Amino acid sequence: MEYPPYFNPEMELLSRSEIEALQLRRLRETVERCTQSPFYKRRFAEMKLDPESIRSLDDVRRLPFTTKQDLRDNYPFGFAAVPLEKCIRLHSSSGTTGTPIVVLHTRKDIDEWANAMARCMWMVGLRPTDIFQNTSGYGMFTGGLGMQYGAERVGMLTVPAGAGNTKRQIKFIRDFGTTAIHAIPSYAARLYQVMQEEGVDPRRDTKLTTLLIGAEPHTEEQRRRIEEMLGVKAYNSFGMTEMCGPGVAFECKEQKGMHVWEDNYILEIIDPDTLEPVKEGDIGEMVLTTLNREAMPLLRYRTHDLTRIIPGPCACGRQHKRVDRMKGRSDDMIILKGVNIFPMQIEQVLLQYKELAPQYLITLETVGSNDDMTVEVELNNMFTDDFGALEALRKSIAHSLKDEILVTPKIKLVPNGTLPKTEGKAVRVKDLRKHY
């Protein structure tokens, strides 16, 4: 059967002036909707901002920024712009030490999210004839259900394998004839390693052609290496829980930057220090305003992701602006195995142990095809050198940390005063991975 080339030609093929006209209309609706959110209601009153005064797209700069801290401070429902009975799902980030955030969705939000994901998947050539396997964690991770709903909307046969159990993933890929897979870049490398161990040649023994990657930073070289290893085309995808999840920005077949769907988001790139816009093409922090969300619209959300707009038109003909692959973060968030972690979460767990001094060092490194975290922490002077007691302490810390950050760190207990310091200031994180 012959399928049409676009999933949603009406939105994908808008001209610049049509995009901007739609954005203005949706921005005004969004600001109006925000007056129902306790957080924005307060913020607008503090700023004496009259929603009616938003009359042009440039007026977006008169709106307040929103930060992750705002979401934390108003956990769980302080941003809801509709009654909870209108919401059908929430997603939440990891963390129990005061760091979690919640994002709410109405039925329409989930529906629009599925449409956005389907549009991305169709854009890179996926069709109902494909068999799609998702290796993201389901549950609270948006890469699970987000990809799932999108793939079902395309009409693919879906294999919701979830994270881990790599041998079983490979069996599914072979038995079901999986043609397309979603995996974060580090896990794609792990898949290949286990295929090699199992004597599976992905080109000879599988039908894989397409890989959707994202959720963690990676270089162009890493992408090309993964494509080479698995014999696939790999497309970069940007998403974040606060913006729904995956489907915010996606590469087209040109593989030259990710189109931000500007019917759904207003994109700004700002200098993270001055908060002023950077010149088009310069690197800065990506700021996003949702335009099509009912339950929890977010204005000028500071992603802390550093990237740049790729100037000029894309050869694919779509006029939605493109952002380059992520270049870093303007905060200290770590992404490990597709999980976001703040050093503060680790610190707060360690502080609960009276056997420990307050010095620690987090090292991230790639060992074989696995990304690992080691937490070295100093013992306080009083503590024992009894091996059994130290081993029990190590296990207890590993367990408590896993509860907090969801991944399992290695723990090294070291004598007091042995961890490195620079100019009197403790070095907290050493990232030896080559992702940027």
The residue among 141, 79, 86, 136 whose CA lies nearest residue 109 is 86
Nearer to ligand AMP, 269 or 397 (CB): 269
The span from the CA of 401 to the CA of 334, in Å, is 14
SS3 state at 431: strand
The span from the CA of 280 to the CA of 283, in Å, is 9
Nearer to ligand AMP, 215 or 336 (CB): 215
Using the rule CB under 5 A, give the single segment among 152-160, 199-207, 313-321, 355-363 that binds Zn ion: 313-321
Position among 275, 278, 407, 414 found at the interface with ligand COA (CB under 6 A): 407
Report how far apart the first and last C-alpha atoms of the chain are (Å, whole number): 42
The span from the CA of 429 to the CA of 75, in Å, is 28
What, of Zn ion, ligand AMP, ligand COA, none, does residue 178 touch, CB below 5 to 8 Å by kind? none
Q: Of all residues in this chain, which one has the CB nearest to ligand COA in the complex?
A: 143
What, of Zn ion, ligand COA, ligand AMP, none, does residue 236 touch, CB below 5 to 8 Å by kind? ligand AMP
Question: In the window 137-176, what residues touch ligand COA (CB under 6 A)?
Answer: 137, 141, 143, 163-166
The span from the CA of 241 to the CA of 157, in Å, is 25
The span from the CA of 406 to the CA of 433, in Å, is 20
The span from the CA of 144 to the CA of 161, in Å, is 9
* Count of residues touching ligand COA (by CB under 6 A): 20
The residue among 237, 235, 253, 256 whose CA lies nearest residue 245 is 237
Position 337 contacts ligand COA (CB under 6 A):
yes
Position among 110, 215, 291, 334 found at the interface with ligand COA (CB under 6 A): 215
Structure tokens at 117: 């994901």
> In the bound complex, what is the minimum distance in angstroms from residue 250's beta carbon to ligand AMP?
9
- In 10 A of CB 160, how many CB atoms? 16
Alpha-carbon distances of 395 from 74, 300, 391, 408, 413, rounded to whole Å: 34, 42, 6, 11, 11
What, of ligand COA, ligand AMP, Zn ion, none, does residue 341 touch, CB below 5 to 8 Å by kind? none
What, of ligand AMP, Zn ion, ligand COA, none, does residue 314 touch, CB below 5 to 8 Å by kind? Zn ion
> In the bound complex, what is the minimum distance in angstroms from residue 139's beta carbon to ligand COA?
9
Position among 314, 357, 364, 406 found at the interface with Zn ion (CB under 5 A): 314
The residues binding ligand COA (CB under 6 A) are 135-137, 141, 143, 163-166, 184, 187, 190, 215, 246, 337-339, 406-408
The residues binding Zn ion (CB under 5 A) are 252, 254, 314, 316, 318
